[in-house]
Amino acid sequence: MAGQGLVREAGEARLGALLASQRPGGTANRAGPALDGPRFTTDREGPAVKETARRMLAVLYQVERAIAIAAFALLVVVIFSDVVIREISGSGLYWARQIGVYANIIKVMFGIGLASAANSHLRPRFADGWLPKSWGPFLDHFSEVLMTLFCIVFAVVAFDLVRETYLLDVRSVVLRIIVWPIQGVIPLVFVLATLRHSLYATWPDLKPPEQGALADSQTELKR
């Protein structure tokens, strides 16, 4: 009987300790979470952010492409209409050239972004072999950082120009419309270029292969 009493008391003591550990002020809670509890890791956060950046670049490319195509189409339609009307009536559209100039500005500026998206900017290649090939990744990263800073500076300068034009209420002599919305394309394009090249600097593999280098490699393979 005495042995059974001791076993019973030991069991009650263990049950009491277990219940105490489950209370808010219990010993187990004070000691912190168990070692085998849920773990929160950030292993997937990097790829998720990178995938978001990739999608952002894809959307940015589509927007720039649509605007450039629309501006080019407007340029063609206006200039063609001016030529046709001039041949028929002897007098063209007085506003056609000015509209054509504005459309060409928009087309060229957004074409800068398209060239960056395709990595097809023209550059001299005579110095490509001056440095070791092992420096390639570092030089690519450095060039993207430098390009990002370059775009930031030009975006600030262009924004200041647009601000002055806005304050002075400068208008087109031919169309008599304010010109700062057209000029506003310039800082906008450099801001978008800053975003693109900063993402290239952060994730170099998001940058497409250079068009010239790709063409050269394909030529070598054909040989």
Rounded to the nearest 10°, the torsion over CA 74, 99, 107, 189 is -130
Which comes out higher in pLDDT, residue 123 or 54? 54
Q: What is the largest CA-CA distance in the chain?
A: 126
Task: State yes or no: pLDDT of 124 exceeds 80.
Answer: no
> For position 45, what pLDDT does the model report?
58
Spans of all domains in the chain: 50-121+137-206
> For position 80, what pLDDT does the model report?
94
Report the chain's mean pLDDT, rounded to a whole number: 80
> For position 163, what pLDDT does the model report?
96
Q: How far apart are CA 92 and CA 169, in angstroms?
A: 29
pLDDT digit string, tens, across residues 145-199: 999 999 999 999 999 999 999 999 999 988 999 999 999 999 999 999 999 999 9
Q: How far apart are CA 221 and CA 25, in angstroms?
A: 72
pLDDT digit string, tens, across residues 63-98: 999 999 999 999 999 999 999 999 998 888 889 999
Q: How far apart are CA 24 and CA 16, in angstroms?
A: 15
Which comes out higher in pLDDT, residue 36 or 165? 165
Q: How far apart are CA 208 and CA 182, in angstroms?
A: 30
Q: Considering the entire predicted model, what is its pTM?
A: 0.70
Query: How buried is 132 (Cβ within 10 angstroms: 0-12 exposed, 13-18 middle, 19+ buried)?
Result: exposed
> For position 27, what pLDDT does the model report?
45
